[in-house]
């Protein structure tokens, strides 16, 4: 049987699929050619990340397809319920990349607190000739310790981020559509463990009380933004916002206007409404730091994702 890893798979995942006896194709098939390729080669499983979509037309047109796998958390690029109603197995890997996304958010929080995203651009050009003025320019950073981090969406990623923030001395408050775990266990390298408390808040309380806000929620079913102009007006002046969840959960027009006005002091974006062609005015704004949707893109996470997907493919196709 053929497994099409259309957005790639880690070497360990590919090797494990081959050990299970599958033929693995890792060359990317263009979206418009997927139906023909799947049917011509009787592909039994397709593995995707965020680039490839698996919609109703593919599900209806490809009778050989038994399994759809998403490497990562969100599955908004797959018609999940429709596929399952047609008897296909659809799985993702929600736990495999939690740590990686949380670490990127922490890096973004530090960057927008100490201006490293800006200093790193200016130092190569002007550091040798303008060192003193650059030192003065970037000498008004802030510390994470003592600040309040509001986490919107307190699943695996939100909880992983909370542990890092607590380790930095931040107060963590959170909101989720489900009751949140109010005690987080921090485990250290030497086996020591401590429990720390998380405050369960409403959305409005998160908006009103947070110095930093990080989103960890799926794209909304109705396509609406969770943070738009109305929500921004409820926030503290100078709030910092990080989005490594999904493009569209924040209104980019509203975010840009608030950054330009100073209501939001800095913003960090790993995801965008119009991927893979994000709007230029976000990318060039000096108070917005951007990364190209790399939250889960660590070597460790990709290894975990590949192995987990391989096991899930085998579990499905061996029945």
Same domain, 106 and 250: yes
pLDDT of residue 307: 96
Cβ(45)–Cβ(3) below 8 Å:
yes
Same domain, 200 and 256: yes
Tokens 């060192």 -> residue: 131
Give 172's strand partners: 149
Which residue pairs, CB below 8 angstroms and at least 24 apart, start in 180-187? 180/154, 181/154, 184/159
Would you say how long the chain is, in residues? Answer: 319
Q: Which two tokens stand for residue 131?
A: 């060192």
Here the CATH number for the domain that contains residue 206 is 3.40.50.720
Domain count, the chain: 2
Nearest-CA neighbor of 293 among 65, 150, 143, 101? 101
Mean pLDDT of 94-110: 95
Of the residues 49, 70, 216, 293, only one is catalytic, namely 293
Of the residues 70, 216, 246, 304, only one is catalytic, namely 246
Q: What beta strand segments (E) does 201-294 contain?
A: 212-215, 239-243, 264-269, 288-290
High-pLDDT (> 70) share of the chain, %: 100
Q: Is 216 a catalytic residue?
A: no
DSSP characters over 27-87: SPPPGGGHHHHHHHHTEEEEEE-SS--B-HHHHHH-TT--EEEESSS--TTB-HHHHHHTT
What is the tens place of the pLDDT at every residue in 167-208?
Answer: 999 999 999 999 888 899 999 889 999 998 899 999 999 999
Same domain, 105 and 249: yes
Same domain, 128 and 255: yes
pLDDT higher than threshold 80 for residue 108: yes
pLDDT of residue 54: 98
Cβ(242)–Cβ(214) below 8 Å:
yes
Q: Is 205 a catalytic residue?
A: no
What is the tens place of the pLDDT at every residue in 225-255?
Answer: 999 999 999 999 999 999 999 999 999 999 9
pLDDT higher than threshold 80 for residue 221: no
Q: pTM of the predicted model, to two decimals? A: 0.88
Predicted confidence band of residue 216 (pLDDT cuts 50, 70, 90)? very high
Q: What is the mean pLDDT of the chain?
A: 95
Region of 248 (left: φ > 0; alpha: ψ -120 to 50; beta: rest) is: left
Predicted confidence band of residue 84 (pLDDT cuts 50, 70, 90)? very high
Same domain, 55 and 179: no
What is the tens place of the pLDDT at every residue in 197-213?
Answer: 899 999 999 999 999 99
Same domain, 135 and 215: yes
Alpha-carbon distance of 274 to 10, in angstroms, equals: 26
Same domain, 46 and 156: no
Of the residues 122, 229, 275, 303, only one is catalytic, namely 275
Same domain, 36 and 147: no
Q: Which two tokens stand for residue 71?
A: 């490497």
Same domain, 109 and 131: yes
Predicted confidence band of residue 73 (pLDDT cuts 50, 70, 90)? confident
Q: Is 19 a catalytic residue?
A: no
Nearest-CA neighbor of 98 among 149, 155, 157, 145? 157
Predicted confidence band of residue 94 (pLDDT cuts 50, 70, 90)? confident
Nearest-CA neighbor of 211 among 176, 235, 244? 235
Cβ(249)–Cβ(226) below 8 Å:
yes
Same domain, 85 and 107: no
Mean pLDDT of 115-128: 95
Alpha-carbon distance of 282 to 279, in angstroms, equals: 6
Instruction: Tell me if residue 270 falls in helix, strand or coil.
Output: coil
Mean pLDDT of 284-313: 95
Domain residue limits at 260? 98-290
Query: Which residues, at least 6 apart from 98, have a Cβ–Cβ distance to it below 8 Å?
Result: 73, 156, 157, 159, 160
Same domain, 19 and 126: no
Same domain, 61 and 152: no
pLDDT of residue 222: 83
């Amino acid at each position: 049987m053929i497994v099409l890893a259309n957005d790639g798979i880690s070497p360990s995942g590919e090797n494990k699929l081959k050990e299970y006896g599958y033929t693995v194709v890792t060359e990317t098939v263009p979206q418009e050619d997927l139906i023909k390729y799947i049917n011509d080669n009787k592909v039994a499983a397709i593995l995707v990340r965020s680039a490839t979509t698996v919609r109703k037309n593919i599900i209806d047109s490809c009778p050989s397809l038994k399994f759809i796998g998403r490497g990562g958390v969100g599955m908004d690029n797959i018609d999940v319920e429709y596929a399952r109603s047609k008897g296909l197995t659809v799985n993702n890997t929600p736990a495999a990349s939690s740590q990686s996304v949380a670490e990127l958010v922490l890096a973004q929080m530090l960057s927008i607190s100490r201006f490293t995203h800006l200093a790193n651009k200016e130092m190569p050009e002007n550091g040798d000739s303008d060192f003193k003025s650059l030192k003065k320019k970037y000498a008004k950073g802030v510390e994470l310790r003592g600040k309040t981090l509001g986490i919107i969406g307190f699943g695996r990623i939100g909880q992983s981020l909370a542990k890092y923030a607590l380790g930095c001395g931040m107060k963590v408050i959170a909101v989720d559509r489900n009751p949140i775990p109010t005690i987080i266990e921090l485990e250290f390298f030497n086996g020591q463990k401590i429990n720390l408390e998380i405050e369960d808040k409403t959305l409005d309380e998160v908006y009103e009380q947070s110095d930093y806000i990080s989103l960890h929620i799926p794209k909304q079913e109705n396509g609406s933004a969770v943070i738009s102009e109305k929500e921004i007006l409820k926030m503290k002046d100078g709030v910092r916002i990080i989005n490594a969840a999904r493009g569209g959960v924040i209104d980019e027009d509203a975010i840009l206007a608030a950054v330009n006005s100073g209501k939001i002091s800095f913003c960090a974006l790993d995801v965008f409404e119009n991927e893979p062609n994000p709007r230029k005015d976000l990318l060039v704004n000096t108070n917005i730091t951007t990364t190209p949707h790399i939250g889960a893109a660590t070597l460790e996470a990709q290894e975990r994702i590949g192995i987990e997907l391989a096991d899930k493919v085998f579990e499905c196709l061996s029945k």
